[in-house]
Structure 1
Amino acid sequence: MDDIPFWKRKTLAEMTTREWESLCDGCGLCCLNKIEEWDSGDIYFTEVRCKLMDGESCRCKSYPNRWDFVPDCVQLTPQNVTEIEWLPPTCGYRLVNEGRDLNWWHPLISGDPETVHAAGISARGRTINEEDIDPEKLEDYVVDWPLKVGDAERDDEDEDDEQSR
């Protein structure tokens, strides 16, 4: 049983804090500012990152104290993962919750926290600090790449599935 990785044998709620935190691949996509249309509920990602997100490492500069600086920072929990519509398609929490496996570039698979960046999945080098823009013009920074990351990999998986039939 120990040969089976914890994310394949445990539910999100059964994971230890350490296991839970390790599901984060460090892509930084969840720390991008988003716009939600009130009438439709549609969510749009922007290239504008939280002021606490380091644009190079894609990690929070003050993770344990983030609510002191960003009171509306959303904490992912096993209970709310299913309710958060804006989790990117490559998110480890989303994948495990959906019963899917982690991608090859996830640090738990690759053993290297840099593979998420090398694979082009992360926000590294693609963002602007929220303190550097006029918040009234956030809609000028809408991008679609956070919802398209991993598309090439999914296309490859679809091709593999077709070839194995």
Structure 2
Amino acid sequence: MQGSNEAFGADSRSSVLQAALDNQEHGPALCGEGEQSTGLRGRSGPSPRPFLRRTPIGILRNCSAGFKSPIQSPRACQSEGANKEALQHEVEELKKKDLALDQEIAQLLAEGYSLEELEKHISWLHEYNDIKDTGQMLLGKLATIRGITTKELYPKFDLELTD
């Protein structure tokens, strides 16, 4: 182990850590069977299970390194030519879809639809859904109070199950 007078730089920390790991490997196991361990609230006694390591000793990895999946993506497996060709095909498909949407918008505008009208209808739909959700919640609470199912309440209020 390093001397106590030495300043703890990055190299000395890693060597101290490695020395501690070596001692652990060759010395007594931490919290092993038969050892006294002060657990929660100062109780002492044998530990219920020995110390288990999640990674094998000697495998120290850089924890700040980026993750690299062991599974290759399909694009990484393709050749450069096939990859470019697939991208070109995808671009062409997106251009066709963009043109079709532009034509549909032009048709709707020619028929007299406007963006403001669409936004107003969307707002009304949101309000309708909020009111319907509130009604469903009230029906559920009433059914719970009466000790019956919500389905049994529908005929009592002249509602259909499709409402």
Structure number with greater Rg is 2
Please state which band the TM-score falls in when normalised by the shorter chain.
Answer: under 0.3
Using the size of structure 1 for normalisation, the TM-score is 0.22
Higher relative contact order (CA 8 A, sep 6+): 1
Using the size of structure 2 for normalisation, the TM-score is 0.22
Q: Which has the larger helix fraction?
A: 2
